[in-house]
Amino acid sequence: MTDEEQKRFDELEQTVQPFVEKTFEANKRLYEQAKEEVEGIAEKSIKGVDASISPFPIKRPGRASVKTLRWYSGVTEKLGDGARVNIIVKNDDNANSIFDKIDEENPVAAEDKDLRRINETTDLGYPKRLIEIRTPSGIIAEMQVITEKAYLAKDGMRGFTGDDAQKQSAKNELDGVRKKSG
């Protein structure tokens, strides 16, 4: 972007951003409902697997509006992570199995062809499995299926959930990573 284009963008952002933010504030209930729905889908997908759910609060209207302006040209309906959840698993096989199950049980409709289904390796060397789904309430929500190691590399213990054994295993893993890296 040229300096002039950046200046124009900044001016437009200052004018439009408050309106986009108010849209998210007005739709807070829809995002809360979508959060419950995506967490329910995640819980169903991990039945019988050594996995846990790490839920997030809905995205704050201020952050949602900035992200929507920058990534989605101000179209609020395109925000994919206003409601989101991490599914934390022990190993890649479980991650692949859960990813495939969610993908199969939540097919992408023709009108939602832009919803992301990502299964790739991150810069940290860990697999990234991200699925956007349209919840029953009509909101796009994001689910990440991630191994404990990948979660710890990304976020540390902050937000890590699971039973006591899973938490202790994660803490031991994180301590080992920290010891190696000095």
pLDDT digits (tens, 9 = 90+) for 52-72: 888 888 778 787 777 777 777
According to the model, what pLDDT value does residue 173 have?
A: 66
User: Would the pLDDT of 176 be above 70?
Assistant: no
Looking at the DSSP bridge assignments, the partners of residue 52 are 88
Report the number of distinct structural domains present in the chain. Answer: 1
User: Would the pLDDT of 9 be above 60?
Assistant: yes
Which are the contacts of 25, defined by CB distance < 8 A and separation ≥ 6?
61
According to the model, what pLDDT value does residue 35 have?
A: 93
According to the model, what pLDDT value does residue 71 have?
A: 72
pLDDT band, residue 177 (cuts 50/70/90):
low
CATH number at residue 39: 3.30.460.10
Whole-number Å distance between alpha carbons of 133 and 165 = 31
Tokens of 39: 């967490």
User: Comparing 44 with 161, which gets the higher pLDDT?
Assistant: 44
Mean pLDDT of the chain: 81
According to the model, what pLDDT value does residue 58 have?
A: 78
Mean per-residue pLDDT, 132-153: 84
pLDDT digits (tens, 9 = 90+) for 69-124: 777 777 777 777 788 898 988 888 899 999 999 999 998 888 888 888 888 877 76
Among 104-108, 118-122, 167-171, 175-179, the least confident range: 175-179
Domain membership of residue 122 as a residue range:
3-181
According to the model, what pLDDT value does residue 99 have?
A: 93
